[in-house]
Amino acid sequence: MPEQTLAEVWGLVPAVLGIVAVGLVLGVVVAAVDRVVVLGASRAAVEPIRFGARLLVEQRRTMLAPDRLLWRIGCVAVPTLALLSLAVVPVGGRTLWSTSADLVWFNAMEALLWAAVWLVGWGPNAVHALTGGYRFLAQGLAYELPLMFALITAGLAAGSLRTTDILATQENLWFVVTMPVAFVVFVASAAAFAFWGPFAAPAGPDIAGGVASELSGVDRLLVEAGRAVFLGASAAMAAALFLGGDSGPWLPGPLWHLLKTLAVVAALVWVGRRMPVLRPDRTVEVGWMVLVPLTLLQALVVAVLVLNGFYA
Amino acid sequence: MLTELSGWAIAAVAALGVLSVAAGVAVFVVDSMARATFALLASFLAVAGILLALDLVYLAVVTALMMTIEMAIMAVFMIMFMMNPAGLMPMTMVHNAKGSAVTGAGAFVVLVAGIWTIDWPTRNTSRPADSTRQLGEAIMGSHMLVMLVIGIGLFATILAGTVLATARGRYDRLGPGLDAQRPDDPVAGGLPR
């Protein structure tokens, strides 16, 4: 039974604008929490906006013989894909549009982000940026499969790839109780797709900032905003897929979802900023030898529970 | 089939079809490996968009997902193994120009003749509510055995290909008696072993 989507309830244009606004607010929240964790509470909410405004008026640097077309495409694609991934995340109990393959949509946007970040590294025709781009792709090989298994585990329990169906199945019990491994892998992979926190090696100081090293002005604003928006969207998705979304006593549903999203953001930033950067050559083996079997076992446990009618 | 679609969907299919062909042509026109790779990706994404316009959501997003990962990995390997490692020197994707032109034109003629001469079946029943489920049942329902056999065959091919291609075997890693405590790997993998 497909419920009404935001586009059907509000009309297409207001719904799209609403989702973009939600995405930008989530991005600012992520950046503000990050500032609080790194620098303390002073002017945390203002700082990201001030930084953004400064980048907006900053003059753009360029390199010798850049591949300008692909560079611009990459820079614009990062925030666009972050916002597009938000289209299937329930906001106020409804998604912007509802398809029979919401989870695959979300995953496809992450994969496109993968390609876009490589373009950001390729475009400027500079060695550090290119190294960072390749590092990002290599690192992605370690967590792409575990992420897919983690996503599919939530879909398996609900018997549907539609996020609103997954929400409805969690009315009695949050999925995080029966699938903690999938939850942790999903949140960690979200950080990895934003090459953030312990997964920031593609933008590491040892390669002078890597993929982001040649970005300036609007380009840097777009990429940094895209990373923050994607982290916020992933936190909202994690709250919806594993933490019961808008279910909870006393308070109205959307407020519950907001609180859970904020909790995931706070936990993600707080833990992520306290972990050392992982070397990509050391994460690949861990991904394939530890995480893939773990997430497969997790899926097996959930599959047995589904066969026993646990989630029905 | 076309008559069931709304005007917007037909316009979208037409525009995306042209875009897909144009991006496909661009693959063979541009002189940079990165541009060729991403022109090919753009062509695939336009096809995914056509599937989306035809309301085949699952096929559309899976096409976008798989093709993006494929192109990203291709970018790594193709550029890595090229004679100019960064791929920044001008290059071309065209090899054996005459032969490929003849083959391409022949395939085009055969396909177009087939499309216009075959008596395509028409739908008698109403559209299913969930085309994803219908697709899954059509693929897996009565063909499960075939799919399993093909799956195992593909997997065996991947394993055999890797075994043939790998330069360092287990005797290199674990010694002639396969009794080394730790594998002798040039790059440590991250696990304490």
Question: What are the pLDDT digits (tens) for A92-110?
Answer: 777 788 777 888 889 989 8
A-B contacts at Cβ under 8 angstroms: 89
- B27 within domain boundaries: yes
Chain segment B123-157, per-residue pLDDT in tens: 777 777 777 777 778 777 777 888 889 999 999 99
A94 contacts: CB under 8 Å, gap ≥ 6: A3, A4, A5, A6, A9, A164
Q: Are residues B68 and B139 in the same domain?
A: no
Q: Are residues B3 and B77 in the same domain?
A: yes
Whole-number Å distance between alpha carbons of B80 and B27: 19
- In this prediction, what percent of chain A has a pLDDT beyond 70? 99
- B51 within domain boundaries: yes
Beta bridge partners of A94: A91
Q: Are residues B79 and B136 in the same domain?
A: no
Whole-number Å distance between alpha carbons of A200 and A210: 9
Whole-number Å distance between alpha carbons of B168 and B185: 9
A27 half-sphere exposure, CB direction, 13 A CA radius: 26
Which tokens hold the place of A172? 């009695």
Q: Hey, are the CB atoms on B190 and A130 less than 8 Å from each other?
A: no
Per CB distance under 8 Å, which residues of A are interface residues toward B?
A: 67, 69-70, 73, 99-101, 104-105, 107-108, 111-112, 114-115, 118-119, 122, 125, 130, 134, 137-138, 140-141, 144, 161, 279, 281-286, 289-290
Which tokens hold the place of A112? 């496109």
Give the per-residue pLDDT at B88. Answer: 60
Q: Are residues B140 and B77 in the same domain?
A: no
- A197 within domain boundaries: yes
Give the per-residue pLDDT at A80. Answer: 93
- A143 within domain boundaries: yes
Question: How many structural domains are present in chain B?
Answer: 2
Measured CA to CA in angstroms, residue A98 lies from A91, A95, A161, B109 at distances of 12, 6, 10, 40
Query: Quick one: which of A60, A91, A87, A63 has its CA closest to A222?
Result: A60
How far is residue A288 CA from its own chain's centroid?
A: 21
- B62 within domain boundaries: yes
Of B32, B72, B133, the CB nearest to A137: B72
pLDDT (tens, 9 = 90+) of chain B, 193 residues, equals 455 678 888 888 999 999 999 999 888 888 878 888 889 999 999 999 999 888 888 888 899 998 988 888 887 777 666 655 555 667 777 788 899 889 999 999 999 999 999 988 887 777 777 777 777 787 777 778 888 899 999 999 988 988 888 778 778 888 888 888 877 877 777 777 6
- Judging contacts by C-beta atoms under 8 Å, the chain A residues touching residue B38 are 70, 73, 115, 119
Beta strand segments in chain B, E: none
Give the per-residue pLDDT at A1. Answer: 41
Average pLDDT of the segment spanning A229-257: 84
Query: What is the SS3 assignment for A86?
Result: helix
Give the per-residue pLDDT at B83. Answer: 58
Q: Is residue B76 less than 8 Å (CB to CB) from chain A?
A: yes
Of residues B104 and A250, which shows the higher confidence score? B104
Which residue, of B67, B85, B103, is where some domain finishes?
Answer: B85
Look-up of token digits 């003629």: B109
**B81-109 residues labelled b (16+ CB within 10 A) or e (exposed):** eeeeeebbeebebeeeeeeeeeeeeeeee
- Judging contacts by C-beta atoms under 8 Å, the chain A residues touching residue B61 are 99, 101, 104-105, 107-108
Q: Hey, are the CB atoms on B57 and A100 less than 8 Å from each other?
A: yes
Give the per-residue pLDDT at B80. Answer: 67
Which residue, of B85, B117, B144, is where some domain finishes?
Answer: B85
- A33 within domain boundaries: yes
Give the per-residue pLDDT at A49. Answer: 84
Residue span of the structural domain in which A214 resides: 6-308
- A230 within domain boundaries: yes
Chain segment A29-71, per-residue pLDDT in tens: 888 888 888 887 777 778 888 888 888 888 888 888 888 888 8
Yes or no: say if A81 and A105 are a contact pair by the CB < 8 Å rule: no
- In this prediction, what percent of chain A has a pLDDT beyond 90? 19
How does residue A298 score in pLDDT terms, banded at 50, 70 and 90?
A: very high
Low-confidence winner among A38-42, A69-73, A76-80, A259-263 (lowest mean pLDDT): A38-42
Q: Are residues B78 and B1 in the same domain?
A: yes
Q: Is-above-0.90 flag for pTM?
A: no
Q: Are residues B135 and B63 in the same domain?
A: no
Q: Which of A119-128, A167-176, A245-254, B125-134 has the highest mean pLDDT?
A: A119-128
Q: Is residue B29 less than 8 Å (CB to CB) from chain A?
A: no
B127 half-sphere exposure, CB direction, 13 A CA radius: 10
Which tokens hold the place of B165? 């291609």
- Judging contacts by C-beta atoms under 8 Å, the chain A residues touching residue B133 are 100
Yes or no: say if A128 and A210 are a contact pair by the CB < 8 Å rule: yes
Whole-number Å distance between alpha carbons of B57 and B135: 11
Give the per-residue pLDDT at B152. Answer: 94
- A248 within domain boundaries: yes
- Judging contacts by C-beta atoms under 8 Å, the chain A residues touching residue B68 are 108, 111-112, 114-115
Give the per-residue pLDDT at A295. Answer: 93
Q: Determine the length of chain A.
A: 312
Query: Quick one: which of B40, B38, B62, B60 has its CA closest to B49?
Result: B60
Q: Hey, are the CB atoms on B132 and A69 less than 8 Å from each other?
A: no
- B101 within domain boundaries: no
- Judging contacts by C-beta atoms under 8 Å, the chain B residues touching residue A114 are 68-69, 72
How does residue A168 score in pLDDT terms, banded at 50, 70 and 90?
A: confident
Yes or no: say if A150 and A186 are a contact pair by the CB < 8 Å rule: yes
- B53 within domain boundaries: yes
Whole-number Å distance between alpha carbons of A29 and A37: 12
B159 half-sphere exposure, CB direction, 13 A CA radius: 6
- A57 within domain boundaries: yes
How far is residue B91 CA from its own chain's centroid?
A: 22
- A281 within domain boundaries: yes
- A1 within domain boundaries: no
Question: How many structural domains are present in chain A?
Answer: 1
Average pLDDT of the segment spanning A113-127: 88
Give the per-residue pLDDT at A114. Answer: 86
Q: Are residues B69 and B5 in the same domain?
A: yes
Give the per-residue pLDDT at B47. Answer: 94
- The ipTM value here is 0.83
Residue span of the structural domain in which B72 resides: 1-85
- B14 within domain boundaries: yes
